[in-house]
Structures are given as C-alpha cells and as structure tokens.
Chains A and B, each alone.
Chain A
Amino acid sequence: MSPIPPPTSAMQPVLRALRLPQFGWGSKIAALVLAVIVVLTLLAQWIAPHDPLTMNPLARLKGPIEGHPLGTDNFGRDIFSRVLIGGQLSLIIGIATAVVSVLIGLVIGMVAGFFRTADAIIMRMMDALMAIPSILLAIALVALNGPSVGSVIAAITIPEIPRVVRLVRAVVLAAREEPYVEAAIALGTSMPKILVRHLVPNTLAPLIVQGTYILASAILTEAILSFLGAGVSTETPTWGNIMAEGRMFFRIKPELILYPGLALSLCILSINLLGDAARDMLDPRLKKRAG
C-alpha cells in the first residue's frame, strides 16, 4: 500500500489556483501590479495631494506644475488625485458587477441546470438577453434610469448574467452526471442538498475565473458608457469618466486620457492575466497536457 500524503484543505482547487509560486513570471508581475494599484487606490484619500473635486478653472489644462505632478484638467482639478480616487469607484463598480452577476447567475444557473422544466424557459430568456447587445442595453438602462452608480452597476451586471448562467448550468449538467453525484443520490441525499453540497462547489473554480473576466470587462464597460455619455457623474471620478471628459482634450492634453487609461489598462491587464493563470490552473484539460 503506497503511503498516504498528509491531509490538506477543503478548498484544494482554489488554493492551488491562488498559490502564486506556481504561476509564471507574467502572472507574478500582474499580481504585483494589481496589488500596487489596489493599495494606491485604497490609500488614495491619504496619498492624493488634492481634493479631486476642488477646482480652479483659471489654472486649467496646465502641464505638470508644482503641486500637480500630472497637471490639471479642464476644471483645473488635479489629475493625479483624480486618477487615484477614480480607481476606487472603477474598482468598486468592477467588483460589485462581478459579485452581483456571479451570485445571481449562480442561483439562476443552478435552477436551470437542475430542474428540467425551468430550464427551457430560463434558457430562452437568457438567449434573448444575450441577443441584446450588452453595450446598447447598458446605455439604454443608464440613459433611462439616470446615470447613478447604482444604475451603472445594474446596467453592466444584467448583460453579464446570461453568460454566468450558461457557465453554471453547463457545470451543473456535467457534474450531475458525475458518479459521485449519482452515488449521493443512491445514498439518499436530497436534491437541494446535492445541489448545495456537491454541485455548487464545482462551479466555484470556473466562477472565480469568470468573475475576474467580468471584473475586468465591467471596468472597461464603465469607461465606454462614460465615453458615450451614459456614465457616472463627473463629481465622482472614475477612470472612465476622467477619460471621457478628457477625450475632448486628447490632442491638447493627452495626459487626461493617458494616465487614467494607463491605470485602467494595467489594472484590467493584470486581472485578465491572473484570470488566465487561474483558468490554466483550474482547467483539468490544460493541466493534463502540461504534465
């Protein structure tokens, strides 16, 4: 009998995914960049040299000058402070969208995956929702409900839900064919319990990966909504609306797009890279080949 290795945690696959040393150098850099961005935005209140809203229209669109390391915008506000603080809402919108869409998608996907009767109806609705181009849906929702942070989050979340539902449903459909689920049925485990105890954990890994992609794309979508005039108010800076406001001055003062754009792109790039790395780690098909 071969020796049995010591016990490990129940979160096996997740921990394996999060164990950075297994990642390539690209992912390590990505994790580092993301950490720096998150720390900077978290501490923005203390780091930022100026209030992001204090304006001085008479000193507008200035290049880097004393006290304004990245210059000022068209209201004479400090770009550096705005980019720092702007990260907060961008990240909040991204995280909120990811969490909400994953949770709602999880519940709907579970129901669709397990109850054949509900499946057809739910999936047709999801098909319909997916058929509506998400940007158009989002602009319409924001334009019609007013561009508050809440409606921006809702507008970005709703189009993401069908994708999560499909993912969860696929995982559930695959998992319910697994022998251990059939064994659980044979052991007299009730359906809700099977759902929660056996199937939900299966969706965890793909949902974490999907969540990172949603997080990244939500931050990007927020920027595009702002660009199209359906974003959050300029009084609450986000990377998106800083760029949207600054796009008018792209050729005069490219810093207005450059710096928030750089922060946004670096952030999304890192999240996407980490998501990819997590997927490679969690996807058994790819793992098989790596060995």
Chain B
Amino acid sequence: MLGYILRRILAVIPVMLLVAVFVFLLLRLTPGDPAAIIAGDMATPAQLERIREAMGLNQPLHIQFVTWLGRLMQGDLGVSLISNTPVSAMIADRMGPTFAIAILTILMSVAMAVPMGVLAAWKHRSGADYAVMTFSVLGFSVPVFVIGYLFILIFSLKLGWFPVQGYTPVGSGLGAFLSNAFLPALTLSTIYIALIARMTRANMLEVLGEDYIRTARAKGAPERTVLFRHALKNAAVPILTVIGSGFALLIGGVVVTETVFNIPGIGRLTVDAILARDYPVIQAMILLTSFLYVLVNLLIDLSYSFFDPRIRY
C-alpha cells in the first residue's frame, strides 16, 4: 500500500513537469509583451528594453525555463507584474472562498445526484428515469451563467431568500456562509449533478445486472437493501472517478460563477490575470489548478480500496 502510494506520488512528478512545460511554452510562444504592459502608456523603447533585461526576457527560452523552474522548486511563484504583490500571497488570499464553495458544491451534488441516479437505474425506463435523465442532460445544456442569472432572479430578487452576491467566510458562522455560498454552489452543482447522476445511473444499471444482485434478490433481500447495500457500493468506484475527473469542470464553472456572484476566489483571479497578461499569476494558477486536479484524482484513486476490497496496492 505504502509502496503504491509512493509510486503514485512519484508518477505525479512527470505529469506536473509536463504541465509546467506546457504552461511555460503557452505563455512564451504567444504574442503579448509583459514588458509593454508594465511600462505603461508612456514608455519609450529604451525603457522597454531595460524592463525586458531586468525580467530576464532577453535570455534564451530554455534558460528562462530552467530559471523559472528553479525558483518554483524553492516555492517562489514570483511577483505579480501588475500589482507587484507576491503571487503566493495573492493565491493564498483568494483560495478560501473557492475551496469552500467547491467543497459545498461537491457535497450538495453528491447528496442530490447519487439518489437521483440510483432511482433512475432502479426504475429503468420509467417516468422517474426519464425525468432524471432529462434533468441531467439539461444540466449539460444550459450555460452556467444563464443558470446563475436565473437563480439570482428567482431566489434573490423575487423571493429575497439569499443575497445577490458576495462571500462570507465559514468562520463568520455557518449560516452567514451558507446564505452567500448556497446559490453559487447550487449553480455550480447543476452540471456536477448532471454528471454524477448520469454516471451513477449507468453504473447502477450495470451493477444491477450482475450475478450477485440476483443472488441478493434470491436471498429475499428487499429492494432498498439490494440497491444501497449491494449495488451502490459496487458502483462507487466509477462514481468517484467521475467526481475526480469532473473536478476540471468544476474549476471551469468556478470561473464563471465567481464572476456572476462576485466571489473573491481564484477563478476570477485567473481570468483577470489572463486578460491582464499577468504571466506569473497565470503560470502559478494553471500549475496550481492542475496540481489540485492531479491531487484530487490521486486521493480518489487511493480511496478506491475503501469501497472495493479487491483493489489493494
């Protein structure tokens, strides 16, 4: 087990290294001169050259990469070109809200999607099945910002149940946190629920056709026991996998919902950084989100053995 974990962690290294290369090349091989941005409205060519020199932008690409990677290894993510603040501080500052809302989203999604998927699989080809499937296809079909606007319109403006925007940390009280975080999480959930419900349904359908389900029924087990005790645990691994791979989707959704609900998270930080060509921030953010993705999926892989005793490392 330990050896396996070690090997898996080691396997993260080449992936992250490749991500680093991608990110670096992506930013360096595309137009947009960070020096021009720093120099501002009134810069002269000589000033530009000085800034390029100072930033090391004149050196060959591979030297720049090695330098950058070296700093990265020491935990130095650099300093924002625009605001001059250390990137790690900026990220640390903005991670809380994103993190909290992402967790809430995952919890809400799983709590809603898994029962939906189980129901749909159990009542295969029934009205309930079609309802769940239609809902989950709808979740993929409506842009998340449209959903966000609709929720604001209905729940905040018409019904007045939630504030329209903003963020309160969990520390200020769960109620306060939830009143701000519920709508964004619900918005984000739609696509996640769609994904998980579909996956749950598909896998439950498959599992429900397995011999041991027949065995359970032959034992006289009631349907509830068959579904939740025998089937669901067997369907858990692919459901977990989709939660992990859906994490990338979640990050995409976060970018949009943070804009719609004005949440000071890393999604907006990234979009702002990209639009402002704030290279150190872009690099750090893409690396970080990729790392989180890899990490989440690693944790999920490792958790498989909890659900399926056949998986031992």
Q: Choose among B27, B138, B248 the residue that contacts A269 (Cβ–Cβ < 8 A).
A: B138
Docked pose: A128 CA to B130 CA in angstroms = 37
Are B18 and A124 in touch, CB under 8 angstroms? yes
A134, A136, A228, A269: which contacts B141 (Cβ < 8 A)? A269
A130–B22 CB distance below 8 A:
no
Q: Is A180 among interface residues, defined by CB-CB distance under 8 A? A: no
Q: Which of A53-61, A74-82, A215-223 contacts B (4 or more CB under 8 A)?
A: A215-223
Knowing A228-B256, A269-B141, the reply to whether A132 touches B31 (Cβ < 8 A) is: no
B22 and A143 contacting across the interface, CB-CB below 8 Å? no
Q: Are B22 and A272 in contact, CB atoms less than 8 angstroms apart?
A: no
Selected from B130, B153, B271, the residue in CB contact (under 8 A) with A139 is B271
> Which among A124, A133, A229, A265 is the interface contact of B142 at CB below 8 angstroms?
A265
The answer, among A129, A143, A251, A285, for a CB contact under 8 Å with B274, is A143
Point out the residues of chain B lying under 8 angstroms from A264, CB to CB.
141, 143
B169 at the interface (CB under 8 A from A): no
State how many angstroms separate the Cβ of A215 from the closest Cβ of chain B.
12
- B125 CB → nearest A CB, Å: 8
How long is the Cα–Cα vector from A227 to B134 in the complex, in angstroms? Answer: 25
Q: Which of B69-77, B90-98, B284-292, B304-312 contacts A (4 or more CB under 8 A)?
A: B284-292
Bound form: Cα–Cα A240–B256 in Å: 14
In the bound complex, CA of A227 to CA of B147 (Å): 13
Closest A residue, CB atoms, query B255? A135
Is B275 close to A, CB under 8 A? yes
Q: Tell me whether A165 is interfacial, beta carbon within 8 Å.
A: no
A127 at the interface (CB under 8 A from B): yes
A171 on interface, CB distance cutoff 8 Å: no
CB distance from A193 to the nearest CB of B (A): 33
Q: How many residues of B contact A (CB 8 A)?
A: 49
Query: In the complex, what residue of chain A is closest to B282 when comparing beta carbons?
Result: A140
Shortest Cβ distance from B142 into A: residue: A265
B114 is an interface residue with CB less than 8 A from chain A:
no
Cβ of B133 within 8 Å of any chain A Cβ, yes or no, is: yes
Partner pick for B149 among A130, A139, A223, A257, CB 8 A cutoff: A257
Determine whether the beta carbon of B144 is less than 8 Å from that of A243: no
The distance from the CB of A27 to the nearest CB of chain B, in whole angstroms, is 11
Using Cβ atoms and an 8 Å threshold, which residues of chain B touch A136?
A: 251-252, 255, 270, 274, 285-286, 289
Within 8 A of B (CB), among A106-161: 124-125, 127-137, 139-141, 143-146
Taking CB atoms and an 8 Å cut-off, the chain B residues in 137-184 that contact chain A are 137-138, 140-146, 149, 153
Given A26-B134, A132-B23, A141-B26: A265 touches B141 (CB 8 Å cut-off): yes
Whether A224 contacts B143 in the complex (CB less than 8 A), given A140-B26, A145-B30, comes out as: yes
Contact B251 A131 (CB under 8 A): no
Instruction: List residues of chain A with CB within 8 A of the CB of B140.
Output: 216-217, 220, 268, 272
A to B CB contacts below 8 Å, 25 in the list = A127-B15, A128-B16, A128-B18, A129-B22, A130-B293, A131-B293, A132-B22, A132-B293, A133-B251, A135-B252, A136-B270, A137-B26, A140-B26, A140-B274, A141-B26, A216-B141, A224-B143, A227-B256, A228-B255, A230-B274, A265-B138, A265-B143, A269-B138, A272-B141, A288-B209
Q: Tell whether A247 is near chain B: CB-to-CB under 8 Å.
A: yes
Please report the C-alpha to C-alpha distance between residue A211 and residue B245 in the assembled complex, in whole angstroms: 19
Rounded to whole Å, the gap between the CB of B27 and the closest CB of chain A is 7
Instruction: Determine whether B39 belongs to the interface, using a CB cutoff of 8 Å to chain A.
Output: no
Does B294 sit within 8 A of A, measured CB to CB? yes
Contacts A223-B143, A227-B256 known; 15 new A-B pairs at CB < 8 A: A26-B130, A26-B134, A127-B18, A128-B290, A131-B19, A131-B248, A133-B248, A137-B286, A140-B27, A143-B275, A224-B252, A230-B274, A257-B146, A272-B137, A285-B206
A144 adjacent to B31 (CB under 8 Å): yes
Report how far A265 CA is from B134 CA in the complex, Å: 12
Once bound together, how far apart are the Cα atoms of A224 and B252, in whole Å? 9
A260 to chain B, nearest CB (A): 10
Q: Is B205 an interface residue (CB 8 A)?
A: yes
Interface string of B237-261 (1 = CB under 8 A from A): 0000000010010011001100100
In the bound complex, CA of A19 to CA of B290 (Å): 42
- Complexed CA–CA distance, A229 and B282 (Å): 16
Complex Cα distance, B141 from A268, in Å, reads 5
- A133-B252 CB under 8 A given contacts A125-B18, A257-B149: yes
Q: Does A286 contact B (CB under 8 A)?
A: yes
A132 (CB) vs chain B CBs: closest residue: B290
Residue A276, interface by CB 8 Å = yes
- Is the CB of B14 closer than 8 A to any CB of chain A? yes
Whether B31 contacts A145 by the Cβ 8 Å rule is yes
Please give the distance in Å from A143's CB to the nearest CB on chain B.
Answer: 5
Decide: A144 and B290 in contact? CB cutoff 8 A: no
B265-304: which residues lie under 8 A (CB-CB) from chain A? Answer: 270-271, 274-275, 277, 282, 285-286, 289-291, 293-294
Interface membership of B56, Cβ < 8 A? no
List the 7 shortest-distance A-B pairs measured between CB atoms, nearest first. Answer: A135-B252, A128-B18, A144-B30, A268-B141, A131-B290, A133-B251, A269-B141
Instruction: Please report the C-alpha to C-alpha distance between residue A128 and residue B290 in the assembled complex, in whole angstroms.
Output: 8
- Find out whether the CB atom of A247 lies under 8 angstroms from the CB atom of B31: no
**Taking the nearest CB of chain B, how far is it from the CB of A169, in angstroms?**
16
